[in-house]
Amino acid sequence: MLTNLSPFTPSSYSSTIRFLKNKPKHHFSSLPSSTPYSSSSSSHPSSNLSFVDKKHFPHEKIGFPLSNRKNFKTSALADFGFGSFESAQSVLEAVSVLTAIIVVHESGHFLAAYLQGIHVSKFAVGFGPILAKFNANNVEYSLRAFPLGGFVGFPDNDPDSDIPVDDENLLKNRPILDRVLVISAGVIANIVFAYLIIFAQIVFVGLPVQEAFPGVIVPEVRPFSAASRDGLLAGDVILSVNDIELPKTIPNSVSQVVDVIKKNPKSSVLFKINRGGKDVIINVTPDQNLDGSGRIGVQLAPNVKVLKEKPKDVLEAFSFTGREFWGLTGNVLDSLKQTVSNFSQTASKVSGPVAIIAVGAEVAKSNVDGLYQFAAILNLNLAIINLLPLPALDGGSLALILVEAVRGGRKLPLEVEQGIMSSGITLVFVLGIFLIIRDTLNLDFIKDLL
């Protein structure tokens, strides 16, 4: 979780970014170019399956039913692992994406206030000590030391402000609808930005489309394994197993091979493979795991080819974008629901800016196109998380306004509002620092040093 809080007053609206574990439900979800099954692993005796997702975002045109897609484990902060920051360019790209999202969110608050003539005193990216700043039109623009988000400050309760406390253009003196617009504008800005990012990829890069072929690819054969001993090679395409032809459907073809291997420890399994354009018959005898299931020591992946498809016209571009956008939004909402309903088991998936940058760098290194989805997911997560009715989030401020509306326009005492917001600010700030430390210690090169 990346926490954005304002260290000043309750009228400084801040942002919170969290990247949740997402299960592919939409056409824009992250499917792997190689979805490996390691039959030599016994860490998950119930299935011995290990899916790794890093790149490629297939379109629904492939024809894979949604009911099957949910079987994939998708890219989430915790699932990517933390790679060593090997490429400075990749890290810079990830930082740029994160910074742009923060700037867009805070710009939404700022523009909603500015266009209504509401006084604004600060616009900051980051928190803590100021690294650089300039002033324009009575607004201080600053870049700060801690990359926990950003904030827009209002002079409502600033004792150093020379603006009269009863000025109608102070945010606190504006009607409820004006304030709701300012507070919710950050969320709206991120939602619009996410839509535009998806639209840009579809128009300028094209939509990755996976075309499925019969069989299952063998990307890797482990040395000294049953597969290596009996003649399977990396790059082979398994066309049938024990005379069972393998269909194009993902992930059923991989599952069929896995099931046959697991059910036949120490028994010969007949593989028909394609190697270099020629069909070959190979018998492999799986070794036996401790749980009694079979293993042969290979990785298996669906036999697919990734193509880029661009829309034929503007209407099709908007149609593609709409489907991808709503599918991705539903995916994020489902992930949030799972996190809230099972927080004790999913709390470790909550990640901070270090983890987000680590994941973004890995995405950029493996596939620059993946940055589009990375940015879209962050925008939607930021928008949805900020709507939660928690102190220090936009949703918390909206909840206070709702209480005011229910009370017939009577605000809660200022001390009560400040107490609620301050407690929330303190909590999310401490959580943010904790996540930065935890995620930093999880980086590979830090582990190596320790």
So which residues are the catalytic ones?
A: 106
Under 8 Å between Cβ of 56 and 31: yes
DSSP state of 49: B
- For residue 251, whether the previous peptide bond is cis, meaning omega lies within 30 degrees of 0, is yes
DSSP state of 60: G
Q: Tell me the C-alpha distance between 426 and 141, whole Å.
A: 24
Backbone phi, then psi, for 215, in 5-degree steps?
Answer: 100, 180
Q: Tell me the C-alpha distance between 9 and 160, whole Å.
A: 13
Under 8 Å between Cβ of 259 and 186: no
Under 8 Å between Cβ of 182 and 116: yes
Contacts 24+ apart (CB under 8 A), 60-64: 60/27, 60/323, 61/27, 61/209, 61/309, 62/209, 62/210, 62/211, 62/212, 62/250, 63/212, 64/210, 64/212, 64/249, 64/250
User: What are the residue ranges of helices labelled H in 367-413?
Assistant: 370-386, 394-406
DSSP state of 382: H
Cβ neighbours of residue 437 under 8 Å, at least 6 residues apart? none
Closest CA to 18 of 104, 98, 83, 72: 98
Distance spanning both ends of the chain, measured CA to CA: 24
Q: Tell me the C-alpha distance between 356 and 76, whole Å.
A: 10
Q: Tell me the C-alpha distance between 124 and 262, whole Å.
A: 57
